[in-house]
A = this chain, B = another copy of it.
Amino acid sequence: MRKTKASTAVLETLRGSSHALTHRELQELLQDTCDRVTIYRVLGRLTGEGLVHKVSDLDGSVRYASCHTCESHGHAHNHDHLHFTCTTCGQTRCLESVEVAFELPDGFTLKETNLSVSGVCDRCA
């Protein structure tokens, strides 16, 4: 994957954000840095590379967040943390510290996870 104006801008924006961003939010933040379509393609590549992960909310809206803790582990990516969407401020944050425990029934094998919950966050409490 090449280092381009668009890809670095997207990655920097995601890294600079405390919460997960939608495509729309990214587009607004990036203004005229690059095209709408390019953002989609960059996000696709970044998630493929494991630098970013995709979160689908309870309502079905899709957001992206940079992998803070993940990168340090090299290729053993672990996105099994919880995503919290605050119903007051609307922000979706990665709660990387929260361990989620579950056991799949016999015959099932695990590949990826997307664990989202909603409620009121600490800042809005």
Contact = CB atoms under 8 A, between A and B. Distances in A.
Contacts of A61: 60
B98 A125 contact: no
Interface residues of A, number: 40
Q: How many copies does the complex hold?
A: 2
Contacts of A72: none
Contacts of A82: 102, 104
A106 interface: yes
A43 to B, nearest CB: 12
Interface of A: 54, 56-62, 82, 84, 87, 95, 97-123, 125
Contacts of A123: 107
5 contacts: A87-B111, A101-B102, A106-B122, A113-B117, A113-B118
B57 A114 contact: yes
Contact of A56 (B59, B97, B104): B59
Contacts of A84: 104, 108
B100 A101 contact: yes
